[in-house]
Chain A
Amino acid sequence: MLARIGGQNPHMDKPQVAARAQMRREFLMRATAGLVASVGLTLLDACAPATPATPTAAPPAQATGAAPAQSSTPPASTPAQQAPATTQPSAGGTLTISQSVDINTLHPWVGTLNVWKVIKENVYDQLSYQDPTTFEVKPKLAKSFEWTDGNTSLLITLAGGTSFHNGDPLTADDVKSTLDGIRDPQVGSWLRGFLAPIKEVQVVDPTHVKLKTETVDNGLIPALTYVDIAPRAAGTDLAKQNPIGSGPFKFIEWVPNDRIVLERNPSYWDQARQPKLDRIVFRPVTELQTRISQLLAGNVDMVYDFSLQEVPRLQADKRVQVSVVPPADQMFIAYLNMRKPPFDKLEMRQAIAWSLDRQAFVTNFLAGLGNPTGNSPFTDKHWAYEPKTKDRDEYDLDKVSQLVEKAGYPKGQGLNFTLLVPSGYPEFKQISTLIQAAFASVGYQPPIEEVEIGQWAARINQTRDFFVAVDYPPRGTADPALTYNAGQLFAPNAANAGGLTPETIPGYVDALHEGATITDQAKRKDAYSRAQLLWVDALPGPIFAHRSTAHALTPAIKGFTPHPAFQQDFAGVSR
């Protein structure tokens, strides 16, 4: 009884108390029932299949489906790549873009994250650029490129009349200081390998720069698409200062974990590329569902690069348009550590290549938005693609069993290896799980080691404490010379994850050198065909499939053309 002392007025008689209590109870019950019904109905609605987009005069950009148009030389933009433009967009306004992670540096030459590439492409200018629809490499800051001095110098003629955001003119001195800065080992730029053919940078006059090389290098002009020209006065420690470029947008601020803000450069030099937007705000949002919710709620205008498995759901939602970039730049590969058993044996490397059901992976885990044709760094639309690689390694469990036995591990006896995957990369784990299941069927189930990304990278690159690790390193698609130039898979150098050396595959280095240095296109194709076939013969790392990328945006956004290598230009975008 004491428990009720405080709850009721002791002067109130019992019938009154009962009546009031009854009224309150009824009210509460009815209100609760109403609320529950309302929430329940809403949740039922949420769980129901999304309403298909109704066809309109200006349909949202669609994915190309299971057989997407491919790179690397598509003749024109596909509907998937270009946002519809039936209404005349108005200039100005702010574009808010959601990205999956925050940037980790402001240094244009050191930062490697795709989210940073997307931003800095708009702050800095580069000497050349890769057209996102034709994939051709075209001059940008440079007016022209010309091989001179008996093909031992690349003469660059600058457009002239360009200036940095601080008003200083952009001259050949700035180009030289940028190239020298990237080539400086102390800077630690990932681009240094791309510029390795350069022996010296000479300033001819304020609008002419000469890059001295030993011979023609076909990868050099494409490599310049990655080189952001910074003012000489800024020096090389560019991480500690706000970026000053000459691009269509000025850098305003970076608030870690919150936003990066760019503002229109009203005096941008290129009349054909005048920025239409007033501001661009990049928001790092790590949770995928939050990113999508923000887009659907209208809190952001664009979700840049998201999981392909979400594409069908968003394509069915009329509030957004989805833009899918056909497979080009990103390929799924497996680093195999050839320094130790069991992958020092060719048969075991081949067994890994034959163990993945690529079609099932693309269909089930990439929503069909990928190219299951692997074995080559290039998609089957690329000029350098060697079709003979197509059927070299497919999915065949009997073949896996035979190869494992031939390698000296009958029914998997004596096998000991693991599959190393980083947390937060579901596709790597999905491939690893499929490989695990395939090997389990032949007698050995390799454990999957899931570790945090920092540890994953350290074990592959530093301690080399791994057996198999799936990755999708973006490679320069602008030219095969770039694809094979640097990195940890194709180039037989100290950085190679699997331990590939020039001696591992006889003739491979010669083929790469030939492809990079001769100008005859047919001979180049022959050289790269040889390199691809030699690769699948020795198989230092199986290439499983090529992956599309997807972006979602509100229908109000016009003029967005996604770039397959994340060198994203927002100058032509409006709302």
Chain B
Amino acid sequence: MSRYLAFRVLSVIPTLFGLSLVVFGVTYLIPGDPALIMAGTDTSPDAVARIRQSWGLNEPLYVRYAIWLLHVLQGNLGESYFSRQTVLQLVAGALPITAELATLALAVAVIIAIPTGTLAAVRAGSLFDLGAAAVAFVGLSIPGFWLVIMLIYLFGVQWQILPAGGFASLGDGVLANLKSMVLPATALGTFTSTQLMRYLRAGLLDVLHADYIRTARAKGLSGTTVLSRHALRNALIPFTTVLGVQLGYLLAGTVIIESVFALPGMGRLVLTAILNRDYQVATGIILLIGTAFVLINLLVDLLYPVLDPRIRLGQAANLR
């Protein structure tokens, strides 16, 4: 077990190194020049060249990679060519917004998915189930941007009960903050909820057909008890795993949602950085996100034996 844990932890090092190579290489190989974006098209080539030189962009790519990696290992992800703020400063400003958005979107998704998925499974084949399937199908099919525009139009412009865009920080008041997040979180969470709902329905249907459910029913337990204590509890285990995966998709979805709703989060930050060829910011953020994924996966692997006593990592062969 301890050998496995050590191996698993150590395997993160080459993974992160590979990640840094890919992130740096891909970012810097995008055609375009940040100096030209800064200088504008009306500036002389000399001026552009001077900006490139001052930003260290004249060095060969491998030299730039070595310098960057050295700085990263020292905890310095660099600074934006444009705003001149450090990447960590920019991330510190944007991450809470994206975290709030993703959390609220996940909450919206779960609040929609669990009751509807459960009811659809319990009443499989009923009008409700068919309706839920139809709604899920529509939810998966309609373009996200259309839903966003409709939400903005209805709630922001027509009824004027929620802001049509923009971000209100907690400093502006908790209510204002939540109001600015309702539409983006709903837009982001709705799409996810349809996937989660279908997944939960399918999982729950499997469980409801299991022998132990029949046994529980035979013991005289009420339908609610069977559902909540036996069926749903077991069906939620794989559901929770999918939820984790969906969180990743939610984070990816923030790029579009934050741009449309003008939220200054991570998605918009990385998009702006890529469009501006702000290499330091783009590589820094992508590396941070990638590292977070690697570490979360590691944590999940390490937690498996704790969560499920049947799992004994590294000893599978012996058990058999």
Contacts and interface: CB of A to CB of B under 8 A. Distances in A.
Contacts of B127: 25
B41 A457 contact: yes
B60 to A, nearest CB: 17
Interface residues of A, number: 73
Contacts, number: 219
Contacts of A257: 94, 264, 268-269, 272
A299 interface: yes
A112 to B, nearest CB: 3
Contact of B119 (A7, A43, A287, A461): A7
Given A192-B44, A287-B259, 4 more contacts: A290-B262, A291-B165, A293-B153, A455-B31
Contacts of A25: 127
Contacts of B93: 255-256
Interface string B206-245: 0011000110010000111011100110000000000000
Contact of A298 (B32, B160, B261): B160
A316 interface: no
Q: 8 closest Cβ contacts across the A-B interface?
A: A454-B32, A6-B227, A112-B40, A258-B264, A7-B122, A257-B264, A293-B164, A188-B47
A270 interface: no
B38 interface: yes
A471 B40 CA distance: 13
Interface of B: 30-34, 36-48, 50-51, 54, 80, 82-85, 90, 93-94, 118-119, 121-125, 127, 149-150, 152-154, 156-158, 160, 163-167, 205, 208-209, 213-214, 217, 222-224, 226-228, 231-232, 259-262, 264, 268-269, 272, 275-277
A190 B39 contact: yes
A102 interface: yes
A239 interface: yes
B153 A285 contact: no
Interface stretch (A138-146, A408-416, A485-493): A485-493
Contacts of B123: 3-4, 7
Given A5-B213, A6-B208, A293 B156 contact: yes
Given A10-B222, A188-B47, A283 B262 contact: yes
B264 A454 contact: no
Contact of B50 (A9, A188, A258): A188
A493 B44 contact: yes
A110 interface: yes
A74 B123 CA distance: 74
Given A7-B119, A287-B259, A299-B165, A112 B32 contact: no
A258 B94 CA distance: 10
A396 interface: no
A454 B40 contact: no
Contacts of B154: 39, 42-43
Given A105-B38, A297-B156, A454-B32, A290 B260 contact: yes
Contacts of A495: 42-45
Contacts of A486: 42, 44
Contacts of B46: 185, 494
A194 to B, nearest CB: 10
Given A3-B124, A297-B164, A299-B166, A487 B42 contact: yes
B47 A190 contact: yes
27 contacts: A6-B122, A6-B227, A10-B222, A11-B222, A42-B154, A43-B150, A43-B154, A188-B51, A190-B39, A192-B44, A240-B84, A256-B80, A256-B93, A256-B272, A258-B167, A284-B262, A285-B165, A287-B262, A293-B157, A294-B163, A294-B164, A296-B164, A454-B34, A454-B275, A458-B32, A462-B48, A493-B44
A104 interface: yes
Interface string A219-245: 000000000000000000001100000
B43 A188 contact: yes
B36 A462 contact: yes
A110 B39 contact: yes
A147 to B, nearest CB: 27
B222 A299 contact: no
Contact of B208 (A3, A287, A296, A471): A3
A489 to B, nearest CB: 9
A370 to B, nearest CB: 21
A458 B223 CA distance: 67
B37 A457 contact: yes
A110 B36 CA distance: 11
A192 B47 contact: yes
Query: Which of B48, B160, B226, B261 gathers the greatest number of chain A CB atoms within 10 Å?
Result: B48
